[in-house]
Amino acid sequence: MLAERVLDGDVRAAARLMRDIDDRMKSAVDELKVLYPHTGNAFIIGLTGPPGAGKSTLVDQIVAGFRKKDLLVGVVAIDPTSPFSGGAILGDRIRMNRHADDAGVFIRSLGTRGALGGLSRSTTDVVNVMDAMGMDVVIIETVGVGQDEVDIVSAAHTTAVVMVPGLGDDIQAIKAGILEIGDIFVVNKADRDGADRTARELSAMLEMRHPEEGEWFPQVLKTEGSRGVGIDELIAEFDRHHDFLKTSGHLQRLTEERNAKLFTDTLRDQLFEAVFGAIKEDGTYRQILDGLRERTTDPYTAVERVLAQSSFS
Amino acid sequence: MAERRLRILVGKPGLDGHDRGAKIIARAFRDAGFEVIYTGLHQTPEQIVSAAIQEDVDLIALSILSGAHNTLLPAVYELMKEKKAEDIVLMAGGVIPETDIPGLKAAGIREVFTPGTSTETIVEWVRTKVTPRA
């Protein structure tokens, strides 16, 4: 069984299990059952932001920062899967190579494989494997996102939104989407022109939130990932947010949300696979497609009939 | 639905700084539907092997143009054996004299592609010779 070897810290077993999870092997579910009681200890940080903002370089620096404190660090780095070939080039590791032979760091690259929210559907389970392995901190780097890929917020405890100067005016900053989800905002490449202005506009946007007494108020930090400038401050801010989550009771709420999401996502997947698999198997699906083509049925009625025949209604 | 997808590490060991070939191969693998973990330039054998293990790849494809292939490629395979990862297929491409190829194959490098090989040939070789590990 892979799970027992994972709990013993076997890197190959962990890597293999992550593969089985990503490839949706049935056996992975049984392994995850064994690991689940050993999860819930890692501090999970999400890093999101547009393509080219320097997320991977920042992750590399953050890993180094936590390693200085002797913490074990896992990284899950997500890059897009081609919608045409199903292939992918996962290139986030390029920026993190110096940690490749550090036994205290485990880096895993994942393709989105069709998921649209900035993560892959396997992300939470892969994070759980790292958690069960005993990683103190797990960092999730999302794909480069635009405005609305916000799944990271329910996958991580602390979400940092990484911006760079020159991406748009302050109207971009008050739109809905990724700018609503940051616990920490980072203006990276802060040596570039316009960094101060970008930081000011983000701060102005955040001040419009009018947080209640005792609520978290996100700060805007400036960093230069390539030179390591501002990283100590960023790590301190991660720690400050983590402490806030623990003392305010928010951590428990976040954990509940994360648990609920894992449960409902799994339920949705399994229900779909069970029902869809059954109707494909017994020919019902073919009949439905025929009926839709002839306009003798409609998708809504067809679904109702399928559900009526299953044991859930 | 369960589906194994081939995972390949593409990287460049050693000191030469020419990554165009590696990028073309990475792109061809992507278009063939493989998942490529691109690790870039200046990799030590230690970095390559530990990345390959963490990423659970089926194939390590190394591009090497520096002339140091007779040292670096066997070093990668030795490390794979040390870490009990020799079930991963090791392949190389680059400016490698024909006369060196038998020695490299004897040292654990499954296949060596020289300049002028089409990407189709390499993709086809991967499809037929490398299967995702069960």
Cβ contact, residue pair A107, B54, below 8 Å: yes
Across A88-237, the runs of DSSP E, i.e. the strands, are 88-90, 105-111, 137-141, 158-163, 184-187, 219-222
Nearest CB neighbour to B46, from listed A25, A101, A106: A101
Q: Is A85 helix (H, G, I), strand (E, B) or coil?
A: coil
Cα A296 from Cα A288, distance rounded (Å)? 9
- Say if residues B12 and A94 touch (Cβ distance below 8 Å): no
Mutate to test the interface with A, among B46, B56, B87, B127 (most CBs of A within 10 A): B56
> Per-residue pLDDT tens for B50-87?
999 999 999 999 999 988 999 999 999 999 999 999 99
Does residue A6 carry a pLDDT above 90? yes
What CATH code would you report for B17-129?
A: 3.40.50.280
Our separate counts of H helices and E strands in chain B read 5, 5
Q: Tell which residue, B100, B94, B89, B80, has the closest CA to residue B126.
A: B89
What is the mean pLDDT of the segment spanning B21-49?
95
What pLDDT is stored for residue A172 in this prediction? 66
Q: Which residues pair with A73 in a beta bridge?
A: A105, A137
Question: What are the φ and ψ backbone dihedral angles of B47, each rounded to 5 degrees?
Answer: -65, -40
What pLDDT is stored for residue A215 in this prediction? 87
What pLDDT is stored for residue A171 in this prediction? 64
- Say if residues B16 and B44 touch (Cβ distance below 8 Å): no
Sheet holding B35-43, edge to edge: A88-90, B35-43, B7-13, B59-64, B89-94, B111-113
Residue with tokens 């490299």: B104
Report CA A270 to chain centroid distance, whole Å: 21
ipTM computed for the complex: 0.93
Cβ contact, residue pair A24, B2, below 8 Å: yes
Does residue B1 carry a pLDDT above 80? no
What pLDDT is stored for residue B3 in this prediction? 84
Cα B126 from Cα A221, distance rounded (Å)? 46
Q: Tell which residue, B80, B72, B77, B64, has the closest CA to residue B11.
A: B64
Does residue B134 carry a pLDDT above 90? no
What is the mean pLDDT of the segment spanning A243-264?
92
Cβ contact, residue pair A11, B3, below 8 Å: no
Q: Does B5 touch chain A (CB under 8 A)?
A: yes
What pLDDT is stored for residue A180 in this prediction? 82
What is the mean pLDDT of the segment spanning A99-120?
93
| Spans of all domains in chain A | 39-248, 263-309
> Per-residue pLDDT tens for A172-214?
666 667 778 899 999 999 999 999 999 998 888 888 877 777 8
What pLDDT is stored for residue A169 in this prediction? 63
What pLDDT is stored for residue A313 in this prediction? 47
Min distance A121 CA to chain B CA atoms (Å)? 12
| Spans of all domains in chain B | 17-129
Cα A32 from Cα A51, distance rounded (Å)? 32
Cβ contact, residue pair A87, B30, below 8 Å: yes
Cβ contact, residue pair B31, A91, below 8 Å: no
What pLDDT is stored for residue A178 in this prediction? 74
Cα B21 from Cα B42, distance rounded (Å)? 14
* Residues of chain A contacting B38 with CB distance shorter than 8 Å: 89-91, 93-94
What CATH code would you report for A39-248?
A: 3.40.50.300
Q: Tell me the C-alpha to C-alpha distance, in Å, between residue B18 and each of A94, A202, A304, B66.
A: 15, 40, 59, 9
What is the mean pLDDT of the segment spanning A288-299?
96
> Per-residue pLDDT tens for A10-27?
999 999 999 999 999 989
Q: Tell the burial category of B56 from Cβ atoms under 10 Å away from its Cβ (0-12, 13-18, 19+).
A: buried
What is the mean pLDDT of the segment spanning A243-268?
92
Nearest CB neighbour to B36, from listed A26, A84, A88: A88
What is the mean pLDDT of the segment spanning A287-311?
93
The structure tokens listed for A193 are 């022109």
> Per-residue pLDDT tens for A132-167?
999 999 999 999 887 778 889 889 999 999 999 987
Over pLDDT 70: what percentage of chain A?
A: 97
Q: Who's near B14: CB < 8 A, 6+ residues apart?
A: B42, B43, B64, B66, B68, B72
